[in-house]
Structure 1
Amino acid sequence: MSQNAFRKKLKNGNQPKIGSGKTIFSWIEEKLDVTRFLGEGVPVQFVPPVAFVVFLGLIYIWGNHRADNMVRKIEKVQQDVEDLRADVTTLEAEYMFSSMQSELAKKVSKQEIVELEHPPIKITIAN
């Protein structure tokens, strides 16, 4: 492991530059020219109100995002319910059709069971 050491100073007393010296922040500062709007520094009295407005904006965006997601979920569930309702209606219709006397007669005719042609007879026993 190497030991910690102080950086060597240049002859003019400055620290040597590491890397290209251009960071993303310096690029943003060049492109936006913030000093033209704010002068040499940011007025401290404006920081809390601006931070509060930014916070409210984030809450507004978050609320809209959640509402949109909820609407999508509700629409998906409604579509699922409609599909299930259609399935239930189809199954009920099939059940009602298959329980008709004529359909039952067709199904049991394979087992050689036939319909009665005369009504049943009531048997009475004399005491």
Structure 2
Amino acid sequence: MAKNTIRRPPQPAPQKKQRRRLQLATWLNDFIGLDRLFGEDNAWPIRYIDRILWVTGLLIIYIFLNHNAERLVRRIQRAKNQTDELRAQATVLQADFDKSGKQSEISKRVAELGIADSQTPPHKIVVKSDEY
């Protein structure tokens, strides 16, 4: 027994894609006359001029980014050196400040004013709990 199937219209055969026209190469050839420069029989530079310009543009961008990265690394190194110097200065200043707050250093400074440390030790004040 035969099966019922849907008839489909025949599909046309696939056509070859047309090569795109090199508009940039044609324009440069008309404007500059590249065929005179390379010769009419040697057309490969004209045919691939768009690719050559693309690779050249990529190389320029690569060089620019490389220089930019090197400049950034130099700036980071300079900032790091400045930070280290400032940290060392802060450490020295902190040590001087800590030293100037000691009793011996304060007594040296106030000795010029005629004030001296007492020679008797301090006595302890004791408050009893029932007095309070």
Per-residue deviation, 1:108: 0.6
How far is the alpha carbon of 1:119 from its aligned partner?
A: 3.5
Distance 2:49 2:67 in 1: 27
Match of 1:96 in 2: 98
Match of 2:121, SS state, is: coil
Say if 2:55 is the partner of 1:53: yes
Tell me the alpha carbon deviations over residues 84-114 of structure 1, each in whole angstroms, 9 at most, x when there is no partner.
Answer: 0111111112112211211110001111111
**Equivalent position amino acid for 1:104 in 2:** I
The aligned residue for residue 72 of structure 2 is: 70
C-alpha displacement of 1:121: 4.0
Q: Does 1:82 align with 2:52?
A: no
Q: 1:62 to 1:116 in 2, by over 3 A?
A: same
Match of 1:114 in 2: 116
Q: Distance in 2 between matches of 1:60 and 1:111?
A: 71
Moved more, 113-122 or 58-67: 113-122
* Number of residue pairs the alignment of both structures matches: 92
Cα distance in 1 for partners of 2:80, 2:63 equals 26
CA distance in 1, matches of 2:91, 2:126: 46
SS for the counterpart of 1:111 is coil
User: Following superposition, which runs of at least 4 residues in structure 1 exceed 3 angstroms of deviation?
Assistant: 40-44, 119-125
Where in structure 2 are there 5+ consecutive unaligned residues?
A: 1-35
Q: Which residue of 1 aligns with 2:28?
A: none
Amino acid at match of 2:104: S
Instruction: Pick 1 or 2: higher relative contact order, CA cutoff 8 A, min separation 6.
Output: 2
Report which stretch shifted further, 116-125 or 49-58: 116-125
Mapped partners of 1:85, 1:46: distance in 2: 58
Larger radius of gyration: 2
Q: Distance in 1 between matches of 2:123 and 2:95?
A: 34
The residue type paired with residue 39 of structure 1 is G
